[in-house]
Amino acid sequence: MYQKVKGTYDVLPNESPYWQFLEQKIREICAIYNFSEVRTPILEHYEVIHRVNEDSDMVKKQTYDFKDLSDRLLTLRPEQTAGIIRAYVENKLYANQDISKFYYIGPNFRYERPQKGRFRQFSQFGVEALNSDSYLLDAEIVALAYNFIKSLGINEIKVEINSIGDSQNRIEFRKTLVEYFTSYTELLCDDCKNRLLTNPLRILDCKVCSKEPFFKNAPSPLNYLNNESKERFDKVLEELENANIDYVVNPNLVRGLDYYDHTVFEIVSYSEELSHLALGGGGRYSSLVKELGGPDITGIGFAFGMERLLLALNNSNLINIVPPLLDVYLLVTTNYPYKISLLQDLRKNNITVETNYTVGSFKNMFIKALNKNPKYILIAGEDEFKNNTITVKNLSTRTEEIVKKTNIIKYLKKELKTKKG
């Protein structure tokens, strides 16, 4: 038997309404904040993802890289920010000299250990705002992420926020961090032993080492901010307070990608069911546009895993989707020559309809019709064909009426309008 690839999943018909619900919520709030949708390819050239200055675990260990038939080295996108920036630069969207505000929904691919709420093919919703260095934009993006989660009905959340400063701050902090963790090299996990040489800031984000006693005294990037970076961060926090955004400063928060600077944040659930689960997060970046061939433009964004959001909604019983009732079921008991024509007429008038495609015993066909949960069952048999009529069974009133075929559309539209009214 063929099976799905490990780390992937099928969205079945009974599950797709939940995805549609979440996608609709995303589009609604992004419209309010005036963000426009961008859709980029899931395939990018290897160099777009594996940039010289990107040394994160995700890029080094988890990407799906391959050569196509023309010997081009390609990568399935592990995240979407790099692809968005590539499209922004390639299409010269920066030429209008204004802020560009994008959102996206789509699949990404990472080779990591599958677990609950985490897959090798997974979908993300995210936003990117480009061409403004204002601290006000930082606060607005954090507010958008926070208010989006609130709009889903997930209330027990906080923004965990930090500043990792500018490039000069990070150089000084990195040096101090290496000196501190070097004295504990033997106690570091294998991944952090490698990070100590390549990407020491990521040690602060390690779920294994963070449980060790020595970790509590590790230096924080907040202690190495210059005056300008500290003032900027204070202004962001002030705006969040004024906007009643519930936040807490997490001095060890650094996020997983190397292009971040200044503001970084996560939206974290504090509910009993989802204790301290990070639903998503993001931050500001200053060098990414330039790295991908564009001008010296800054940006800020965030991303949420759709699967994790659905997990949070289901665990909190926040989605109760009732399947829409079928308007009519056309039950044909004989060789009815106008079947397709009648189906078309019904659908042209926005009447949802299902039918039987084979003829068997009336009892079995009627049971199947009832299982479709229609408001009306239309019966077209030999007698109806001879008399140019249709028998209409109203399942809510359990009444039956004979209607001329030429009047059936008018009759149903009136009946359905009455029910909806």
DSSP state letter for 29: H
Q: Tokens standing for 341?
A: 């024509």
Q: At what angle do helices 135-151 and 16-32 cross, to 10 degrees?
A: 140
Least trusted range by pLDDT, from 56-60, 66-70, 336-340: 56-60
Same domain for 276 and 352, yes or no, is no
Query: Residue 147 is which amino acid?
Result: N
Same domain for 140 and 57, yes or no, is yes
Same domain for 266 and 340, yes or no, is no
**Contact predicate 140/127, CB 8 Å:** no
User: Residue 31: what pLDDT?
Assistant: 97
d(CA 375, CA 219): 66
User: Residue 200: what pLDDT?
Assistant: 84
Same domain for 294 and 369, yes or no, is no
- Tens of pLDDT along 292-302? 999 999 999 99
Of 267, 294, 315, the residue at which a domain comes to its end is 315
Name which residue leads in pLDDT, 71 or 322: 71
Q: Is the residue at 216 inside a domain?
A: no
Split at pLDDT 50, 70, 90, the class of 256 is low
Same domain for 284 and 330, yes or no, is no
- Tens of pLDDT along 33-56? 999 999 999 999 999 999 877 767
Q: Assign 3-class secondary structure to 98-115.
A: CCEEEEEEEEEECCCCCE
Share of the chain above pLDDT 90, in %: 67
Phi, psi (5° rounding) for residue 11? -95, 105
**Contact predicate 167/261, CB 8 Å:** yes
**Contact predicate 170/178, CB 8 Å:** no
Q: Tokens standing for 88?
A: 């922004």
Q: Is the pLDDT of residue 421 over 60?
A: no
What CATH code is carried by the domain that includes residue 148?
3.30.930.10
The closest alpha carbon to 203, from 215, 213, 267, 61, belongs to: 215
Domain count, the chain: 2
- Secondary structure E strands in 308-367: 326-332, 353-355
User: What is the Cα Rg of the chain in Å?
Assistant: 28
Distances (CA, A) of 356 to 340, 374, 404: 11, 13, 21
User: Residue 111: what pLDDT?
Assistant: 94
Name which residue leads in pLDDT, 97 or 133: 133
**Contact predicate 267/280, CB 8 Å:** yes
What CATH code is carried by the domain that includes residue 347?
3.40.50.800
Q: Is the residue at 408 inside a domain?
A: yes
Q: Tokens standing for 5?
A: 């690839």
Same domain for 353 and 306, yes or no, is no
Q: Is the residue at 182 inside a domain?
A: no
Same domain for 69 and 104, yes or no, is yes
User: Residue 55: what pLDDT?
Assistant: 66
**Contact predicate 210/188, CB 8 Å:** no
In the numeric block, the tokens 């501190």 are attached to 180
Split at pLDDT 50, 70, 90, the class of 257 is low
Q: Tokens standing for 201?
A: 């800031």
What is the DSSP annotation of 289-314?
A: HHHTT--S--EEEEEEEHHHHHHHHH
Q: Is the residue at 181 inside a domain?
A: no
Distances (CA, A) of 268 to 308, 363, 394: 12, 55, 50
Q: Which domain holds residue 135?
A: 16-166+226-315
User: Residue 76: what pLDDT?
Assistant: 97
Same domain for 332 and 306, yes or no, is no
d(CA 88, CA 131): 11
Question: Using CA of residue 28, residue 30, residue 35, residue 40, what is the dihedral sign?
Answer: negative
Q: Is the residue at 348 inside a domain?
A: yes
Q: Is the pLDDT of residue 338 over 80?
A: no
User: Residue 317: what pLDDT?
Assistant: 75
What is the rounded average pLDDT of the residues 173-192? 90
Split at pLDDT 50, 70, 90, the class of 169 is confident
Residues, the chain, total?
Answer: 421
| Biggest CA pair distance of the chain | 94
The closest alpha carbon to 200, from 180, 229, 223, 225, belongs to: 180
Same domain for 287 and 352, yes or no, is no
Rounded mean pLDDT of the chain?
Answer: 91
User: Residue 297: what pLDDT?
Assistant: 94
DSSP state letter for 73: E
d(CA 246, CA 169): 27
Least trusted range by pLDDT, from 137-141, 163-167, 235-239: 163-167
Name which residue leads in pLDDT, 253 or 124: 124
- Tens of pLDDT along 4-34? 999 999 999 989 999 999 999 999 999 999 9
DSSP state letter for 283: E
Same domain for 340 and 283, yes or no, is no
What is the DSSP annotation of 115-164?
A: BTTB-SEEEEEEEEEES---HHHHHHHHHHHHHHHHHTT--SEEEEEEE-
The closest alpha carbon to 41, from 103, 70, 84, belongs to: 84
Q: Is the pLDDT of residue 275 over 80?
A: no
User: Residue 420: what pLDDT?
Assistant: 54
User: Residue 238: what pLDDT?
Assistant: 98
- Tens of pLDDT along 211-231? 888 888 888 888 889 999 999
What is the rounded average pLDDT of the residues 337-341? 83
Q: Is the pLDDT of residue 282 over 70?
A: yes
Residue 167, classed as helix, strand or coil, is: helix
pTM metric for this prediction? 0.87
What is the rounded average pLDDT of the residues 102-129? 92
Split at pLDDT 50, 70, 90, the class of 309 is very high
